[in-house]
């Protein structure tokens, strides 16, 4: 068998047996994969810090058609998250983004855009970008890449162009025009709508450098949370921990 070699980002690991780990990692060409790292929990483990969550690595693995999990043969560390983990908010934000990507990334299918999102948001945290802004950016973009985030240009009900202020209908889980908006539709502030549009055209470092107010970021994340929970039927495990830190 030929060893498959690719760039990857570690999402999380699960202890297995006495000395091994089951590793979940994201690749640009093969999407989310699972792999056995034999001996990774041993005293003289050959993987070192390369299997830490959100480490960017070059990974080599063997795959058998009949098995879901591959066998990890080599892992070379490219970038560690360790510097960002020294700051509590950045560390929890990174954990949350990893769970977000793990939840939505497809298994076994190409995921170049999702991989790029994870790579660049992680790098932004390492550069000291505002954690709340990086998280908001990741949440909105992840929902867009998953095909869940509604259009901010056309009414979800009648298809007519939307005007400011935007209105969000929770029943429809989309933005609606003034004629289609029911009494329960919530009005989205213009500065929040501006920030939503900025995300679609700016890299994460530029977006985070705008120093958006805590209120704008909170409104954006509340909107993303409503859409995400409606789709999943539950909230992410690390959401409350992150909320407590950012609060």
What is the tens place of the pLDDT at every residue in 91-100? 999 999 999 9
Q: Inform me whether the pLDDT recorded for 45 exceeds 80.
A: no
Q: List, for residues 234-244, the tens digit of each pLDDT value.
A: 999 999 999 99
pTM of the predicted model, to two decimals? 0.93
In percent, the amount of the chain with pLDDT more than 70 equals 99
Number of helices followed by number of strands (H, E) in the chain = 8, 8
Sequence ranges of the domains in the chain: 4-80, 84-246
> Could you read off the pLDDT of 122-149 as tens digits, one per residue?
999 999 999 999 999 999 999 999 999 9
Of 1-15, 33-47, 161-175, which gets the smallest average pLDDT? 33-47
pLDDT tens digits, 165-203? 999 999 999 999 999 998 889 999 999 999 999 999 999
3-state class (DSSP) for residue 16? strand
Q: Which of 129, 167, 148, 174 is nearest to 228 (CA)?
A: 148
Answer yes or no: is pLDDT of 44 > 80. Answer: no
Total count of residues recorded for the chain: 247
Token pair, residue 82, equals 């360790």
Question: Residue 230: what pLDDT?
Answer: 96
Residue 156's contacts (CB-CB under 8 Å, 6 or more residues apart) are 150, 169, 172, 173, 174, 175, 176, 180
Task: State how far the Cα of 5 lies from the Cα of 18, in Å rounded to an integer.
Answer: 27
What is the greatest pairwise CA distance in the chain? 67
User: What integer pLDDT is reported at residue 146 of this predicted model?
Assistant: 95
**DSSP 3-state of 211:** coil
**210: confidence class by pLDDT, cuts 50, 70, 90:** very high
Task: Kindly report the backbone phi and psi dihedral angles of residue 183, in degrees, each rounded to the nearest multiple of 5, phi listed first.
Answer: -65, -20
- pLDDT tens per residue across span 60-115: 999 887 788 999 999 999 999 988 888 999 999 999 999 999 999 998 888 999 99
* 244/27 Cα distance (integer angstroms): 31
As its CATH architecture, domain 4-80 has Beta Barrel (2.40)
Residue 43 has pLDDT above 80, yes or no: no
CATH architecture of 84-246: Up-down Bundle (1.20)
Q: What are the tokens at 120?
A: 């660049």
Return the pLDDT at 124. 97
**pLDDT value for 126:** 95
pLDDT at 129: 95
């Amino acid at each position: 068998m030929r060893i498959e070699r690719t760039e990857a980002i570690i999402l999380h690991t699960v202890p297995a047996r006495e000395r091994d780990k089951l590793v979940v990692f994201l690749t640009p060409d093969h999407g989310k994969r699972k792999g056995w790292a034999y001996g990774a929990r041993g005293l003289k483990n050959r993987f070192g810090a390369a299997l830490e969550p959100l480490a960017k690595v070059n990974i080599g693995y063997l795959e058998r058609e009949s098995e879901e999990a591959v066998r990890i043969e080599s892992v070379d560390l490219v970038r560690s998250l360790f510097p960002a983990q020294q700051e509590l908010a950045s560390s929890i934000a990174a954990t949350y983004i990893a769970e977000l990507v793990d939840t939505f990334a497809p298994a076994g299918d190409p995921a170049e855009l999702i991989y790029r999102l994870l790579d660049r948001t992680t790098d932004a945290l390492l550069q000291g970008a505002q954690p709340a802004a990086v998280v908001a950016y990741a949440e909105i973009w992840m929902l867009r890449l998953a095909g869940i985030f509604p259009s901010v240009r056309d009414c979800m009900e009648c298809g007519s162009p939307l005007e400011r202020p935007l209105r969000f209908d929770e029943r429809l889980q989309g933005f609606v025009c003034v004629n289609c908006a029911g009494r329960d539709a919530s009005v989205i502030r213009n500065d929040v709508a501006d920030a939503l549009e900025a995300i679609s055209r700016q890299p994460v470092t530029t977006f985070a450098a705008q120093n958006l107010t805590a209120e704008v970021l909170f409104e954006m994340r509340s909107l993303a949370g409503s859409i995400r929970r409606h789709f999943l039927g539950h909230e992410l495990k690390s959401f409350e921990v992150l909320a407590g830190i950012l609060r």
